[in-house]
Every structure is written in structure tokens, then in C-alpha cells.
């Protein structure tokens, strides 16, 4: 029997996913059902060139994890309003509006500690199978929002308003469930 004729072989499908942005200690995060699209983790290893006479030799350098993009549908309902939830994430990351130029309040700035612990929480991308069971889970370590586009309004279109986020993270691991190899890479030390 050829590879694709096996009825038990199920490829991963791009629409079978759940993005969890649970929120941190002080936010409710983003509702799962509002997420329209997410880019999976991406990394790049730099290449270091060493030249000798007429030859070039290459060695792996440092790994750099790229930000991932998330597209969210905005709603009017105050319990699932993406714009409101995102502004709470900004606030809980440490940002404060200045009251007046001379006031000593409103000088709060964003910190990584607040952005990770108070605002986003542990961000995960879950792939599910046809039964709705988790088969793969990406966990983004120390994730925080770097960019937000609050959408576009126009009289020329009837589309849903979408909000786009860019999320930076230190690194990520994949947990392959249901008979896979578990967490990759494994923690050392």
C-alpha cells in the first residue's frame, strides 16, 4: 500500500488549531474563538564564514527566533472585544498615559517582566486532530507583544474588522502528544 492510501494516516490541517493567549495575572487575554490566523514559530541560525586561501568554510552561529503574527477578529461584545483586551495587555505590560507634563504620575514604562507575567501569560499554539484532541503543542517562552495594528475601517468593504499582533518570544518548544517524542528540544541542566 502506498503512503497516502493508508486510511489511518492523517496529515495536519491548517484550520485545525487553537491559539491560547490566556492573559497574565491581571488580564483575561484573548478569547480563543477570535483568532483567525497565526504563524507558527520560525527561527534562523546565522552562518559564520571562515576564509582560507581560495576556500570558504561555514559554521553555525547563533539562533534567532522570529516574531510570529496573529490575526484576530474584533467584536462589539464587551466580554470578547479584542481591541479592549489588547489595550488591557498594553496597560498591564506597564504602559501608562501621562496625566500632565509636570505630574510625576503616568511615567510607567513597559517591562519584560510585566509584559510576560501580567499581560500575556504562556502563549501556546495547539494543533488538533479530527476528534478535537491535541496532537501538537508549541509553547512560546517569555512571549510579549511588539506590534499591534488595530485594523482598518472602510466603506468599500463588508469584511470583519481584524486586529494584527506581532509576538516576540525568547524561544519555543514543541510537545508532540499521543505517542510522539514529547517535548523537543528537551531542557538541559
Domain CATH code at residue 111? 2.30.110
Cα torsion 83, 84, 86, 90: sign: positive
Q: Is residue 26 part of a domain?
A: yes
How crowded is the C-beta side of 152, counted as CA atoms within 13 Å? 7
- 169: domain range? 13-41+69-178
Number of domains in the chain: 1
CB 150 within 8 A of CB 134: no
Q: Tell me the three cell numbers of residue 128.
A: 488538533
Q: Is residue 125 part of a domain?
A: yes
Q: Which residue has the higher pLDDT, 128 or 97?
A: 128
Question: What pTM, to 2 d.p., does this model score?
Answer: 0.85
Q: Is residue 52 part of a domain?
A: no
Q: Is the backbone peptide bond immediately before 63 cis, with ω within 30 degrees of 0?
A: no
**Which of the residue ranges 136-140, 161-165, 181-185 would you say has the lowest mean pLDDT?**
181-185
User: Which tens digits make up the pLDDT trace of 107-157?
Assistant: 778 999 998 888 888 999 999 998 999 999 999 999 999 999 999 999 999
Q: Is residue 6 part of a domain?
A: no
Amino acid at each position: 500500500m502506498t503512503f497516502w492510501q493508508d486510511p489511518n494516516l492523517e496529515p495536519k490541517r491548517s484550520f485545525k488549531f487553537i491559539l491560547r493567549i490566556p492573559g497574565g495575572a491581571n488580564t483575561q487575554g484573548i478569547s480563543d474563538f477570535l483568532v483567525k490566523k497565526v504563524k507558527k514559530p520560525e527561527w534562523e541560525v546565522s552562518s559564520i564564514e571562515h576564509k582560507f586561501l581560495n576556500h570558504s568554510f561555514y559554521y553555525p552561529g547563533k539562533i534567532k527566533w522570529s516574531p510570529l503574527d496573529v490575526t484576530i477578529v474584533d467584536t462589539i461584545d464587551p466580554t470578547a472585544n479584542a481591541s479592549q483586551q489588547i489595550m488591557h495587555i498594553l496597560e498591564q505590560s506597564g504602559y501608562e498615559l501621562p496625566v500632565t507634563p509636570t505630574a510625576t504620575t503616568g511615567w510607567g514604562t513597559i517591562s519584560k517582566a510585566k509584559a510576560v507575567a501580567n499581560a500575556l501569560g504562556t502563549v501556546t499554539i495547539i494543533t488538533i486532530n479530527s476528534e478535537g484532541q491535541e496532537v501538537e503543542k508549541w509553547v512560546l517562552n517569555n512571549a510579549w507583544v511588539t506590534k499591534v495594528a488595530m485594523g482598518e475601517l472602510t466603506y468599500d468593504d463588508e469584511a470583519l474588522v481584524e486586529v494584527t499582533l506581532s509576538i516576540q518570544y525568547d524561544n519555543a518548544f514543541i510537545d508532540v502528544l499521543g505517542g510522539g517524542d514529547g517535548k523537543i528540544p528537551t531542557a538541559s541542566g
